[in-house]
C-alpha cells in the first residue's frame, strides 16, 4: 500500500524524507540503504549531512547500493552517478568507500557488470530504498514497459529521459548518454521499505498514474502499489492531479483527529501493519474511496502507533471500520468485512 504525504513544497518534502531515512539509520546503524540520484533526493542528502555534522549520526557501518549509472561516462565525469553521489552525500558523511556500491559501467563486458551487481544484491537486504521518479514514471532507469520481474540490466534511455536529463549536461541533448545500467524493478521491490520523493509540475502525471492508475508496466512506478511499505512524498505541484479524496486517505493521529472528522460522513479504518486481514482490506478501501469520492471521506488510524484513538473507539480487534457522521460514531463493523458488506454499510450511512 502506498502512504501518500503531500507537502507544501520541496523543502518540506525533503524534511519528511529525512525523518524517515534518519529513523532507519538511527534504529539500525548497520543498515543497508538503496540510494538514488537526480535532483529529487538532493534536499534529503543535505539534511542527512547536516544531521551527521550536528548530531553525529554515523554511517561507518552503513552500506549503500545505488540504483543506476550512465554508460559512456568515465567514473570521474562530474555527471557520472558515482561523482554525483560523492559530491552530494558520500564525501560529507563517514560512510566507508568499500561499503558504497554503484553498478559499474566501465569496461567491455557490461552484462558481466550487471551479473555482478545482481549477485551482490541477491546477498543483501536493502532496508530502505530511496527513489525519485522520471516524468514518464520510470524508477531508477527502468523505462516504461520494463518487465516487473527485471533485475539489473543495460537500458536504452527513452528520448523523454534524455531530454529531461539534458539540464545536467549544459542543456545539450547530444551530451547525454543514451544508455545506462539500472537495478531492475524486482531489485527495487525487494527493499523492506521504500520512500519516493517527487516535486514540481512535470511529475504530476507520473504521480497520478503511480498512485491512482492501474498497476501496469507502462508506468514502472505503479508497481509500488504492490509493495507493503511505500511512502510517496510529494509537493503540492506534483500532487495537483490527485483527487482530493485520494489525498485524504491518510493516517490520522489523536492530535488532528477531531479537527479532521468534525463534519460530513467519514469512514475510518483501524489497522495494524502486521495484520494480514488489514492488508487484504486495504486495496478494497482504496477502491471504495474512489467509488464514493465526494460523498464519504476515508482515513486510516494505525492502532499500534495511536492506541489512544483505538481505545477511544473500543477497537479490540482489527481490522475495524468505523463510520462517523459529523464527528459522532454512527456505525461500525468489527473484524474483516467483505467489499459487499462495506458497500451496504456505506450506503446505510449516506
Ligand atoms: C534519472 C534517474 C532516476 C531519477 C530521475 C528523476 O533518470 N535515473 O533515478 O529518479 O532521473 O530525476 P529528478 O529527481 O532530477 O527529477
Q: Could you tell me the distance, in angstroms and rounded to a whole number, from the CA of residue 37 to the centre of ligand 1?
A: 6
Beta-strand (E) ranges in 166-275?
179-182, 193-198, 230-235, 265-271
Residue ID of nearest Cα to ligand 1 atom 1: 38
More confident residue, 308 or 26: 26
CA distance 124 to 277: 29
Say if residue 294's pLDDT is above 80. no
Q: Could you tell me the distance, in angstroms and rounded to a whole number, from the CA of residue 205 to the centre of ligand 1?
A: 15
Say if residue 316's pLDDT is above 80. no
| Residue 158: DSSP 8-state | P
Beta-ladder partners of 44? none
Q: How much is the pLDDT for 293?
A: 65
Question: In ligand 1, which atom is closest to the CA atom of 200?
Answer: 16
CA distance 339 to 281: 8
Band of the pLDDT at 184, cuts 50, 70, 90? very high
pTM for this entry: 0.74
User: Which ranges of the chain would DSSP assign to H, the alpha helix?
Assistant: 10-27, 42-55, 81-88, 110-122, 159-165, 185-189, 204-212, 236-239, 244-248, 254-261, 276-291, 307-312, 339-349
Q: Could you tell me the distance, in angstroms and rounded to a whole number, from the CA of residue 107 to the centre of ligand 1?
A: 24
Q: How much is the pLDDT for 153?
A: 98
Spatial CB neighbours of 249, under 8 Å, sequence gap ≥ 6: 4, 285, 286, 289, 298, 299, 300
**132-141, 147-156, 235-244, 292-301 — which is least confidently predicted?**
292-301
Q: Is the dihedral of CA 11, 13, 15, 21 positive or negative?
A: negative
**53-57, 182-186, 213-217 — which is least confidently predicted?**
213-217
Residue ID of nearest Cα to ligand 1 atom 9: 140
137 within ligand 1 shell (Cβ under 6 A): no
Q: Could you tell me the distance, in angstroms and rounded to a whole number, from the CA of residue 266 to the centre of ligand 1?
A: 37
84 within ligand 1 shell (Cβ under 6 A): no
Q: Which of 134, 196, 199, 203 to mutate to test the pocket of ligand 1 (most atoms within 8 A of CB)?
A: 134
Q: Is the dihedral of CA 144, 13, 214, 275 positive or negative?
A: positive
| Catalytic residue positions, numbered | 68, 136, 138, 143
**72-81, 246-255, 269-278 — which is least confidently predicted?**
246-255
Band of the pLDDT at 4, cuts 50, 70, 90? confident
Note the pLDDT tens digit of each residue in 46-98: 999 999 999 999 999 999 999 999 999 999 999 999 999 999 999 999 999 99
Note the pLDDT tens digit of each residue in 10-41: 999 999 999 999 999 999 999 999 999 999 99
**19-28, 164-173, 283-292 — which is least confidently predicted?**
283-292
265 within ligand 1 shell (Cβ under 6 A): no
Q: Which fold has domain 2-241?
A: Rossmann fold (3.40.50)
CA distance 284 to 290: 10
Overall size of the chain counted in residues: 350
CA distance 88 to 47: 11
Q: How much is the pLDDT for 349?
A: 84
Say if residue 266's pLDDT is above 90. no
Q: Mean pLDDT, to the nearest integer, of 177-181?
A: 97
Band of the pLDDT at 247, cuts 50, 70, 90? very low
Write out the CATH class of domain 248-349: alpha beta
For 59, list phi and psi in degrees, rounded to 5: -115, 20
Q: How much is the pLDDT for 47?
A: 98
141 within ligand 1 shell (Cβ under 6 A): yes
CA distance 9 to 4: 14
CA distance 125 to 131: 16
Q: Mean pLDDT, to the nearest integer, of 263-271?
A: 86
39 within ligand 1 shell (Cβ under 6 A): yes
User: What counts of helices (H) and strands (E) characterise the chain?
Assistant: 13, 14
103 within ligand 1 shell (Cβ under 6 A): no
For 68-96, the DSSP string reads EEEESS-TTSTTSHHHHHHHHTGGGS---
CA distance 303 to 238: 30
More confident residue, 286 or 227: 227
Say if residue 245's pLDDT is above 70. no
| Residue 41: DSSP 8-state | T
**101-105, 151-155, 252-256, 260-264 — which is least confidently predicted?**
252-256
**13-22, 55-64, 191-200, 233-242 — which is least confidently predicted?**
233-242
Query: In the chain, where are the structural domains located?
Result: 2-241, 248-349
Residue ID of nearest Cα to ligand 1 atom 11: 38
Q: Could you tell me the distance, in angstroms and rounded to a whole number, from the CA of residue 138 to the centre of ligand 1?
A: 8
140 within ligand 1 shell (Cβ under 6 A): yes
Q: In a 10 Å sphere around its CB, with 0-12 CB exposed, 13-18 middle and 19+ buried, how is residue 256 labelled?
A: exposed
Note the pLDDT tens digit of each residue in 141-153: 999 999 999 999 9
CA 165-121-182 angle, to 5 degrees, is 20
- Across the beta sheet with 320-325, the strand order is 297-302, 265-271, 320-325, 328-334
More confident residue, 16 or 274: 16
More confident residue, 317 or 131: 131
Say if residue 246's pLDDT is above 60. no
Amino acid at each position: 500500500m502506498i502512504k501518500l504525504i503531500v507537502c507544501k513544497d520541496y523543502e518540506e518534502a525533503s524534511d519528511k524524507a529525512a525523518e524517515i531515512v534518519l529513523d532507519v539509520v538511527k534504529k539500525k546503524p548497520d543498515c543497508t540503504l538503496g540510494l538514488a540520484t537526480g535532483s529529487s533526493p538532493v534536499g534529503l542528502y543535505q539534511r542527512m549531512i547536516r544531521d551527521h555534522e550536528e548530531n553525529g549520526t554515523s554511517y561507518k557501518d552503513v552500506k549503500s547500493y545505488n540504483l543506476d549509472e550512465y554508460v559512456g561516462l568515465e567514473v570521474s565525469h562530474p555527471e557520472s552517478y558515482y561523482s554525483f553521489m560523492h559530491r552530494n552525500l558520500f564525501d560529507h558523511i563517514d560512510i566507508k568507500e568499500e561499503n558504497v556500491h554503484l553498478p559499474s559501467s566501465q569496461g567491455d563486458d557490461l552484462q558481466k557488470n550487471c551479473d555482478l551487481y545482481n549477485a551482490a544484491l541477491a546477498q543483501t537486504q536493502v532496508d530502505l530504498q530511496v527513489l525519485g521518479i522520471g516524468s514518464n514514471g520510470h524508477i531508477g532507469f527502468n523505462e516504461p514497459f520494463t518487465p516487473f520481474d527485471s533485475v539489473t540490466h543495460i537500458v536504452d534511455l527513452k528520448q523523454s529521459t534524455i531530454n529531461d536529463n539534458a539540464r545536467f549536461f549544459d542543456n545539450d541533448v547530444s551530451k547525454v548518454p543514451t544508455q545506462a545500467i539500472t537495478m531492475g524493478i524486482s531489485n527495487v521491490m525487494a527493499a523492506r521499505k521504500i520512500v519516493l520523493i517527487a516535486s514540481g509540475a512535470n511529475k504530476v502525471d507520473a504521480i497520478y498514474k503511480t498512485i491512482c492508475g492501474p498497476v501496469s508496466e507502462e508506468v514502472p512506478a505503479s508497481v509500488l502499489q504492490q509493495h507493503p511499505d511505500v511512502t510517496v512524498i510529494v509537493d503540492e505541484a506534483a500532487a495537483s492531479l490527485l483527487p482530493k479524496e485520494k489525498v485524504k486517505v491518510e493516517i490520522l493521529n489523536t492530535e488532528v483527529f477531531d479537527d479532521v472528522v468534525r463534519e460530513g460522513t467519514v469512514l475510518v479504518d483501524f489497522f495494524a501493519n502486521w495484520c494480514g486481514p488489514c492488508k487484504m482490506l486495504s486495496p478494497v478501501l482504496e477502491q471504495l474511496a474512489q467509488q464514493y469520492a465526494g460523498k464519504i471521506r476515508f482515513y486510516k488510524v494505525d492502532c499500534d502507533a495511536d492506541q489512544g484513538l483505538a481505545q477511544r473507539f473500543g477497537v479490540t480487534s482489527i481490522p475495524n471500520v468505523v463510520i462517523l457522521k459529523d464527528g459522532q460514531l454512527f456505525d461500525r463493523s468489527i473484524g474483516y468485512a467483505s467489499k459487499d458488506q462495506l458497500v451496504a454499510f456505506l450506503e446505510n450511512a449516506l
